[in-house]
């Protein structure tokens, strides 16, 4: 478990310091704003989805704590090039990994986002880690807003 916590801290620090895909996307065809009222995080997630349901581009912008920024950064890297259905499956898998108490997460199945499964040890931070994922899900569903409340 200490290895996971160490990885968790390293990944969060790196992605917070140098977030990937942190930019406004002019030609996005899906977009949603997500808020975490508990800690003040506010992110906008942009997606470009083609006619074959491929996520061809993805980015985010906004402000938030290190965990929410890191999670959004990793998420955008993971989901580019995926089918919408695969993105939704990863959303569900990640959400279950950080919210279900009695389940050991499938770290291999989570890919890079597995490092954030360590947030489960800090219940007050789970909403920070899942904010961008809920926002992405809302954008794919055609909703303009997502909240962790």
Determine which of 35-39, 52-56, 86-90, 113-117 has the lowest per-residue pLDDT on average.
113-117
| Separation between Cα atoms, residue 58 and residue 77, nearest integer Å | 8
| Domains of the chain and CATH, by start | 2-147 (3.90.1010.10)
Q: Across residues 42-68, what is the average pLDDT?
A: 96
* Residues facing residue 6 across a β-bridge: none
Q: What is the pLDDT of residues 80-116, one digit of tens each?
A: 999 999 999 999 988 888 887 666 666 666 777 777 8
Q: What is the pLDDT of residues 6-32, one digit of tens each?
A: 666 788 889 999 999 999 999 999 999
| Separation between Cα atoms, residue 112 and residue 102, nearest integer Å | 22
Q: Which helix (H) or strand (E) holds 146?
A: strand 145-147
Q: Report the predicted TM-score, pTM, of the whole model to 2 decimal places.
A: 0.90
| Separation between Cα atoms, residue 137 and residue 142, nearest integer Å | 9
| Separation between Cα atoms, residue 48 and residue 125, nearest integer Å | 29
| Separation between Cα atoms, residue 126 and residue 46, nearest integer Å | 22
Reading the block at residue 88, the tokens are 């939704």
């Amino acid at each position: 478990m200490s290895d996971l916590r160490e990885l968790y801290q390293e990944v969060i620090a790196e992605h917070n310091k140098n977030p990937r895909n942190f930019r406004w996307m002019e030609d996005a065809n899906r977009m949603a704003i997500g808020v975490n009222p508990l800690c003040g995080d506010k992110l906008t997630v942009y997606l470009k989805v083609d006619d074959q349901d491929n996520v061809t581009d993805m980015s985010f912008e906004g402000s938030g704590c290190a965990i929410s920024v890191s999670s959004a950064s990793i998420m955008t890297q993971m989901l580019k090039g995926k089918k919408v259905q695969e993105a939704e499956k990863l959303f569900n898998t990640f959400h279950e990994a950080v919210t279900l108490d009695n389940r050991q997460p499938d770290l291999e199945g989570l890919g890079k986002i597995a490092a954030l499964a360590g947030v489960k040890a800090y219940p007050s931070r789970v909403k920070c880690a899942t904010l961008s994922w809920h926002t992405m899900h809302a954008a794919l569903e055609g909703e303009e807003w997502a909240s962790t409340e």
